[in-house]
Amino acid sequence: MSISSIIFLLYQTIIIITIIHVLMDNRQPSKTMAWALVIYFIPIAGLLAYFFFGIDTRKERMASRHTMDQLTKRSMIEFVEQKNLQLPEPEKPLINLFVNQSFSLPFNHNKIDILTDGYTFFLSLLRDIATAKDHIHIDVYIFEDDALGHLLSDALIDKSRQGVKVKILYDDVGCWNVKTQFYERLRLEGIEVVPFMPVRIPSFANKVNYRNHRKIFVIDGRIGYIGGMNIALRYIKGRKRQPWRDTMLRIEGNGVYSLQRTFLIDWYFVDRTLLSDQRYYPEVSDSLPVNCIVQTVTSEPLAAYPEIMQGYMHIISSARKYLYIQTPYFLPPDAILFALKTAAAAGVDVRLMTPRHCDGRLVEWGSRSFLKDMVDAGVKVLLYEKGFLHSKFMVCDDRITTCGSTNVDFRSLENNFEANMFIYDKDVAQRMKQVFLNDETQTIPLNTLHKRMHPSFLARLGESIGRLISPLL
C-alpha cells in the first residue's frame, strides 16, 4: 500500500471518528447535520473549523459562574428593597419565567430614554460620565482604538484622576485588532481593564467560540445603558459610506441594579474579584415612574436553557395584535421560525426589519431563504435602505419591549454571552413602536424585489448552502 493510500485511509478514519463525536454531543439535529456535512465535504478546513468552533467545552470551563450567581443574588437582595412593586397580571408568566430560571428580578421606578443614533448616545454617555462620583463600569464587545475610543478614554482617565473607580471589560476577540498599548495607557492611569476570556494558543479552540457580546454601561449604580452599540467611531459615522442605525436604552431607577449585577458577575468571571458592597446598589428616588417595570435577562453558553430565546418565544406566542422586530442578522433556530410563522398565520401583524445589505456576505446569503420563508408565511419583511441597521429590539401589543445585544441568530441565542432588558410599560412600548414605524419609511418590502423573491439557480444554490451552514455562523 502506498503512502498516499495510508494517508487517505487515516484521514477517512479521523473524519468518521469526528462525525461520531458530533453525533454523540446530542445537539440540535440541524446543527449536527451542518457540522457533519462541513467535516465530510470540506477537506481539512472542515476538521479545523470543528476543532476551533464546534467542540463544546463550555461547561468544564465556566462552572464557577454558578457560584458567583448565588453570591450576587444574596448581596442584591440584602441591599435592594422595592416599594409598591405591582406586577402586571398578563406579564406575570414571563416575569416568573425569568425569575425562576436565572433569578432575574423585576424592578419598578424606572425612567427609560430611547437613543437611536451614535451622536445622541455618546453625547449622553459622556455627560453622564462627567457626573460620576463613585464608579463607572463598562462591559462591551468592542472598545476601538480610534478617535471615539480616545475621546472616551480621555474622559475616563479624567474621572479616574478625580478618584472615581473605573472598570472596563472588553471582549478579546472583538478587540483583536486593538493594540495592547491602547489599554495599557488606561491601566497606567489607575483604570482596571480586563479582557474577557483571552484567546491564546493552546487554549484557542476552547475559548474562541464563546464571546461576550454584551453592551452595558453603569455610572454610580444610578444610570445605566444597554443596547447594540459598542465603542467605535463607525457607530457614529457608519462605514463604507453607509450610515449606522442602532438602538440604546438609557435607564434611571431600580432597573440599574440588574445591569450592575450583570457587570459584577462578568467581572468576577474574568478577574475573580467579588464586588458586593452597598455602594454598587444605591438608593433610588421614588419620584421615577412607579409602574415602569424592567428585567435584565442574560443568556450564556453555560445556562441550562437559552433564557433570552425563551423570552422571545413567549412574546411571539402571546402576541395578539402586532409584533415588530428589528435585527441585523436573521438566521433563526427552528423554534423561532415556527413561532413567527404561527403568529402570522393567526392574524398577528408581524413585521421583521433587517438591513438590505449585511456587513457579512455569507451571513446575508444565509438569511435570504429564511426571509423568503417569512414572506411566504405572511410576515411583512422590510429591508432597511438608509444604511446598516444594527438595532436589536422587539415590541409587542403596546405592552412588552425588549432591547439589548441579542441578534435573531444561532450565535447570539446559543453561543454568545448576551444581555437584553425586558420592559413592561405601555408608554415605552408605544415609543419603541414609533421608532420602528419611523424606520419603516426608510425600507422597501422584500416581496417587491423580484430578483430576491425569484432568484436564479446559482443564487438559490448559494442561499441553500448558506441556510445549511447557518447554525455554524
Q: What residue segments make up the domains of the chain, in order of their start? A: 3-55, 60-294, 307-472
Cis peptide before 202 (omega within 30 of 0): yes
Tell me the three cell numbers of residue 420: 437584553
pLDDT at 209: 64
Whether 111 contacts 291, CB under 8 Å:
no
195 — pLDDT class (breaks 50, 70, 90)? very high
Of 191, 246, 192, 257, nearest to 223 (Cα)? 257
Q: Which of 50-54, 234-238, 262-266, 395-399 is the least confident region?
A: 50-54
What pLDDT does residue 28 have? 61
Q: What are the tens digits of pLDDT across the range 411-465?
A: 888 888 999 999 999 999 999 999 999 999 999 999 998 878 777 777 677 666 6
**Residue 278 CB neighbour total at 10 angstroms:** 12
Place of cell 435577562: 297
Over residues 33-44, the mean pLDDT reads 65
CATH topology of domain 60-294: Endonuclease; Chain A (3.30.870)
CA distance 297 to 299: 7
Residues classed as catalytic: 213, 215, 220, 390, 392, 397
| C-alpha span between 466 and 473 (Å, rounded) | 9
Q: Which CATH architecture has domain 307-472?
A: 2-Layer Sandwich (3.30)
Whole-prediction pTM: 0.85
Q: Mean pLDDT of all residues in the chain?
A: 85
Mean pLDDT score, 5-24: 67
Q: Do domains 60-294 and 307-472 have the same CATH topology?
A: yes
- Residue 405: is its pLDDT beyond 60? yes
Phi and psi, residue 102, nearest 5°:
-140, 15
Q: Which of 31-45, 114-128, 169-183, 254-268 has the lowest mean pLDDT?
A: 31-45
- For every residue of 431-458, DSSP letters joined together read HHHHHHHHHHTTEEEGGG-HHHHS--HH
Is residue 70 over pLDDT 60?
no
Lowest mean pLDDT among 204-213, 312-321, 414-423: 204-213
pLDDT by residue (tens digit) across 94-151?
Answer: 999 998 887 888 999 899 999 999 999 999 999 999 999 999 999 999 999 999 999 9
Q: In what order do the strands lie in the sheet with 418-424?
A: 293-299, 418-424, 400-404, 393-396, 322-326, 349-355, 380-384, 443-445
Name which of 41-45, 139-143, 368-372 the model is least confident about.
Answer: 41-45
Residue 103, number of CB atoms within 10 A of its CB: 14
- pLDDT value at residue 92: 92
